Amino acid sequence: MARTREFDIDQAVDRAMDLFWRRGYAETSLQDLLKELSIGSGSFYAAFGSKEQLYLRSLERYVSMQHADLKKILDGAPEIRPAVRTLLASLVEMDLADPVRGCLVVNSATQCGNLPAAGDRVNSAIRHVESFIAGALEQAQARGEISPEKDPRELARFLTTFIQGIRIVGQAKVGREFVEDALTTAMRALD
């Protein structure tokens, strides 16, 4: 007779995500995960398969949360400029509040070069952000908020790149004035 699982998988993924986010993939050992999740190795392997598989699930969870936040800000925004500014400013505030942690997608891109599956998920996450922003910009262009000479896809790629850059700069602790100036300049791309 199989034993019933005595822990909540979603809660365990959230806790693992937090641990990976704080410490990084390489610096998080299996023992760290077992301690954080308060489970034995048998339960761990039965539920997650491996440290890498749990990391990928954690990364997916993080990406899902970030995409939900992006959607909440941009989806159906009556005006694109305030919505984009709100999006960018929210990222600046997150990084100013906790610069050590940064962004799990950026951390994965810079720390997990030897994990091709993580690289694939990072690429997919970035492409999703680009696509979602492009869609919002296309709608804004159709409403006449953005010049017809502007290419929404190019603007989306710029803003997506800016988002990733601002997350890295946030970890460098350059300060509010630096990132606010950069945000103001980035907003001019929509003019």
| CATH number of the domain within which 103 lies | 1.10.357.10
Residue 12 has pLDDT above 60, yes or no: yes
Residue 128 has pLDDT above 60, yes or no: yes
Residue 45 maps to a domain: no
Residue 35 maps to a domain: no
Please give the full DSSP string across 72-89, using - where no structure is assigned. HHHTT-S-HHHHHHHHHH
Residue 32 maps to a domain: no
Q: Which residues lie closer than 8 Å to 38 by C-beta, 6 or more apart?
A: 7
Residue 179 maps to a domain: yes
Residue 179 has pLDDT above 70, yes or no: yes
Q: If you average pLDDT over every residue of the chain, what do you get?
A: 92
Residue 132 maps to a domain: yes
- Cα 83 versus chain centre, distance: 18
Please give the Cα distance from 91 to 103 (Å, whole number): 9
Give the pLDDT score at 1.
Answer: 42
Number of structural domains, the chain?
A: 1
The residue segments making up the domain with residue 169 are 56-189
Residue 38 maps to a domain: no
* Nearest one of 164, 181, 73, 65 to 123, comparing CA atoms: 164
> What is the mean predicted confidence (pLDDT) over 108-134?
93
pTM of the predicted protein model:
0.88
- Residue 2: pLDDT band (50, 70, 90) is very low
Residue, of 42 and 171, whose pLDDT is higher? 42
Q: Which residues lie closer than 8 Å to 171 by C-beta, 6 or more apart?
A: 95, 99, 100, 102, 106
Residue 65 maps to a domain: yes
Residue for token pair 């806790």:
15
pLDDT tens digits for range 151-168:
999 999 999 999 999 999
pLDDT tens digits for range 63-84:
999 999 999 999 988 999 999 9
Residue 146 has pLDDT above 90, yes or no: yes
Please give the Cα distance from 45 to 53 (Å, whole number): 10
Residue 7 maps to a domain: no
